[in-house]
Amino acid sequence: MNTIISIGRELGSGGRTIGRTVAMKFGIPYYDREIIDKTAEESGFAIDFVKSQEQKVSAYYKLCMGMSYGYGNQILSLSSQIYQAQVKVIKELAEKGPCVIVGRCADYILRDRDDLLRVFVYSDIEHRIKRAVNSYGMNEQTAKKEIQKSDKERARHYNLFTDNTWGSRENYDLMLDSGYLGLEKCADLICEVASQRS
């Protein structure tokens, strides 16, 4: 198996669990939060700051850009520095060999590689709320709000830095509804496709 697998995912879709399962089945590295540490190291920002800023662009940025006060540019500049550091980290990780990378525009960053399988995992809101309640201990109302907020933030971040549309089919090779398929089946299908390509 010589494939690098990027997994984009909606909050609550189980994309991270699926990614970990795939990585375990193949015995290859799984990169998710490890990327935060490496990005902090690369960019010189504190880990907590990277964690709070990566994979999202706040609505506040757009507001500030509209007001032309310059705050927007400052926020964008910080986001952009973090993104650029992540680009370098992700490209270096991919160079090391087959792996699973969750989120962080990896599908776009690594798009020129022939050994890339680009997956997106999604689900209807009911399954995602249920999963967020069970996995993160949220109540239903909070889970729904967090999911809606996360969708907006991830889409804004992805669309800003890639000029593509987050979750839109042209960016992915395989798109799986984890609510319908179940997490185990999603992992199986990804493994099957990744094995075939190698």
Q: Which residues bind a copy of itself (CB under 8 A)?
A: 117, 120, 122, 124, 167-170, 172-177, 180-181, 185, 189, 192-193, 196
Residue 51: which of 104, 93, 2, 106 has the closest Cα? 104
Least distance from C-beta 49 to a copy of itself, angstroms?
32
**What phi and psi, each to the nearest 5 degrees, are found at residue 105?**
55, 25
Nearer to a copy of itself, 112 or 169 (CB): 169
Find the shortest distance in angstroms from Cβ 183 to a copy of itself. Answer: 13
Q: Which is nearer to a copy of itself, 78 or 189 (CB)?
A: 189
- What is d(CA 12, CA 3) in angstroms, rounded to the nearest whole number? 25
Q: How far is the CB of 110 from a copy of itself (least distance, A)?
A: 14
- Closest to a copy of itself by CB, 42 or 151: 151
Q: Which two tokens stand for residue 193?
A: 């496709």
Measured from the CB of residue 167, what is the shortest distance to a copy of itself in angstroms?
A: 6
Which C-beta is closer to a copy of itself: that of 18 or that of 64? 18
What tokens appear for 76 in the block? 């964008």
The tally of CA atoms less than 13 A away on the side-chain side of residue 26 is 26
Backbone angles phi, psi at 29, to 5 degrees: -65, 150
